[in-house]
């Protein structure tokens, strides 16, 4: 098959005509269509992901940014960046296409993505360790003795690195710091929950900003009210000049993923006072750096709405009975607010 995923006869602008007339861009567009289709369901296969919204925004940005200057180079760059995201997202539903795209873009990291896929899909522990060891051995040997490899200090070889969730998570993080820049698919975290440790702080400083990321926000359902409340809590935090902020942000992101994946055992919550007579956010103003009790008092309606949204999500996606879902949702909202207020060390 040649040509892009859309009809060139109906192409109406210069960007689409260039894609139609360039075999490499046409191939990228066809690959994108396959990976996008494979990533539309969320990581838990219980609903839609947010990839359709992301894709629409990508198309708008592509058309705006690539209409000027060097259109061809701009399109190649835009497609490759988005294809990388979609290949990670679709790794567990279209592994052959996803791995081929990841290898085309970066032959160094492609074996590590295959290792993630094998680690999360092979049930037998011995078989899993053997398959993953083969894929990660060259990278493990190359980075094991580097200064950044301190999290692997007790791991003797690639086989040990492939033998437990803890060791494999540490390996992925060290590889990311060593310029592999990995993103772990949310689907891997759903299939192998022990790998959630890959999202924790590892070094306690600025280097934590280079650790493995996840695509869980894009690969879970939209939680508009929850996201708005989380953003409001983050917005009132003081600036954090020290490098510890990278580790604190890492722990906060870990909580965000735990909430989205309904990992009730992984977040820390406090009791929330949302009594009907409490002050609400309609007199919110532009005040910054409020403390946690004042933030809660001023965002009563948002907290209730976010809790209701999350309770519906837990019931529909994870089969939690409504009463329990509401209790868990309130706990999760509390964890999100507390996590935001832990983003900076307060004297």
- At 344 the pLDDT is 80
148 and 232 part of one domain: no
Q: Is the pLDDT of residue 289 over 80?
A: no
285 and 330 part of one domain: yes
Q: Tell me whether residue 58 is in a domain.
A: yes
pLDDT tens digits, 183-192: 999 999 999 9
**pLDDT tier at 273 (50, 70, 90 boundaries)?**
low
Of 209, 313, 221, give the one whose Cα is nearest residue 251. Answer: 209
Between 246 and 99, the more confident residue is 99
Q: Tell me whether residue 2 is in a domain.
A: no
pLDDT tens digits, 93-142: 999 999 999 999 999 999 999 999 999 999 999 999 999 999 999 999 99
Q: What percent of the chain shows pLDDT beyond 70?
A: 94
End residue of a domain, out of 70, 102, 134: 102
- At 285 the pLDDT is 46
173 and 278 part of one domain: no
Q: Is the pLDDT of residue 286 over 50?
A: no
Span 260-274, mean pLDDT? 86
**pLDDT tier at 265 (50, 70, 90 boundaries)?**
very high
Q: Is the pLDDT of residue 238 over 50?
A: yes
Q: What is the 3-state secondary structure (H, E, C) of the chain?
A: CCCCCCCHHHCCCHHHHHHHHCHHHHHHHHHHHHHHHHCCECCCCCCECCHHHHHHHHHHHHHHHCCCCCHHHHHHHHHHHHHHHHHHHCCCCCHHHHHHHHHHHCCCCHHHHHHHHHHHHCCCHHHHHHHHHHHHHHHHHHHCCCHHHHHHCCCCCHHHHCCCHHHHHHHHHHHHHHHHCCEECHHHHHHCHHHHHHHCCCCCCHHHHHCCEECCCCCCCCCHHHHHHHHHHHHCCCCCCCCHHHHHHHHHHHHHHHHHCCCCCCCCCCCCCCCCCCCCHHHCCCCCCCCHHHHHHHCHHHHHHHHHHHHHHHHHHHCCCHHHHHHHHHHHHHHHHHHHCCCCCCC
89 and 129 part of one domain: no
- At 347 the pLDDT is 44
- At 283 the pLDDT is 47
128 and 153 part of one domain: yes
Span 167-187, mean pLDDT? 95
Among 26-40, 83-97, 242-256, 303-317, where is mean pLDDT lowest? Answer: 242-256
- At 278 the pLDDT is 52
- At 328 the pLDDT is 97
- At 13 the pLDDT is 87
- At 111 the pLDDT is 97
87 and 181 part of one domain: no
126 and 196 part of one domain: yes
Span 51-65, mean pLDDT? 95
Q: Tell me whether residue 73 is in a domain.
A: yes
Q: Tell me whether residue 345 is in a domain.
A: no
210 and 168 part of one domain: yes
- The mean pLDDT of the chain is 92
**pLDDT tier at 243 (50, 70, 90 boundaries)?**
confident
230 and 333 part of one domain: yes
Q: Tell me whether residue 18 is in a domain.
A: yes
- At 68 the pLDDT is 80
End residue of a domain, out of 102, 128, 163: 102
90 and 116 part of one domain: no
| Number of domains the chain contains | 3
Q: Tell me whether residue 286 is in a domain.
A: yes
Among 1-10, 103-112, 175-184, 320-329, where is mean pLDDT lowest? Answer: 1-10
199 and 252 part of one domain: no
- At 277 the pLDDT is 53
End residue of a domain, out of 102, 121, 136: 102
Q: Tell me whether residue 347 is in a domain.
A: no
Q: Tell me whether residue 3 is in a domain.
A: no
231 and 334 part of one domain: yes
Domain span including residue 263: 224-340
- At 110 the pLDDT is 96
């Amino acid at each position: 098959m040649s040509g892009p995923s859309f009809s060139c006869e109906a192409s109406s602008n210069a960007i689409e005509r260039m894609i139609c007339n360039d075999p490499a861009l046409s191939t990228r567009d066809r690959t994108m269509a396959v990976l996008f289709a494979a990533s539309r369901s969320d990581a838990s296969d219980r609903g839609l992901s947010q990839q359709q919204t992301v894709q629409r925004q990508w198309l708008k940005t592509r058309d705006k940014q690539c209409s000027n200057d060097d259109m061809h180079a701009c399109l190649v760059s835009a497609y490759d960046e988005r294809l990388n995201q979609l290949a990670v997202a679709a790794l567990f539903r279209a592994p052959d296409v996803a791995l081929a795209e990841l290898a085309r873009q970066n032959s160094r990291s492609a074996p590590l993505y295959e290792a993630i896929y094998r680690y999360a899909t092979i049930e037998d522990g011995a078989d899993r360790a053997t398959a993953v060891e083969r894929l990660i051995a060259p990278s493990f040997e190359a980075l094991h003795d580097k200064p950044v490899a301190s999290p692997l200090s007790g791991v003797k070889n690639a086989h040990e690195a492939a033998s437990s969730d803890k060791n494999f998570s540490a390996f992925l993080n060290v590889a990311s710091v060593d310029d592999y820049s990995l993103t772990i698919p949310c689907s891997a975290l759903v299939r192998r929950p022990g790998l959630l440790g890959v999202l924790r702080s590892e070094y306690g400083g600025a280097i934590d900003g280079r650790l493995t990321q996840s695509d869980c926000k894009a690969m879970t359902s939209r939680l508009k009210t929850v996201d708005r409340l989380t953003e409001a809590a983050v917005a009132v935090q003081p600036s954090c000049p020290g490098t510890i902020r990278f580790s604190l942000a890492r722990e906060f992101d870990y909580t965000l993923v735990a909430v989205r994946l309904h990992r009730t055992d992984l977040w820390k919550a406090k009791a929330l006072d949302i009594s009907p007579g409490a002050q609400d956010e309609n007199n919110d103003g532009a005040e910054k750096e409020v403390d946690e009790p004042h933030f809660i008092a001023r965002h009563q309606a948002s907290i209730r709405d976010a809790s209701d949204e999350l309770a519906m999500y837990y019931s529909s996606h994870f089969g939690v009975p409504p009463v329990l879902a509401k209790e868990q949702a309130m706990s999760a909202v509390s964890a999100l607010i507390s996590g935001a207020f832990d983003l900076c060390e307060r004297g």
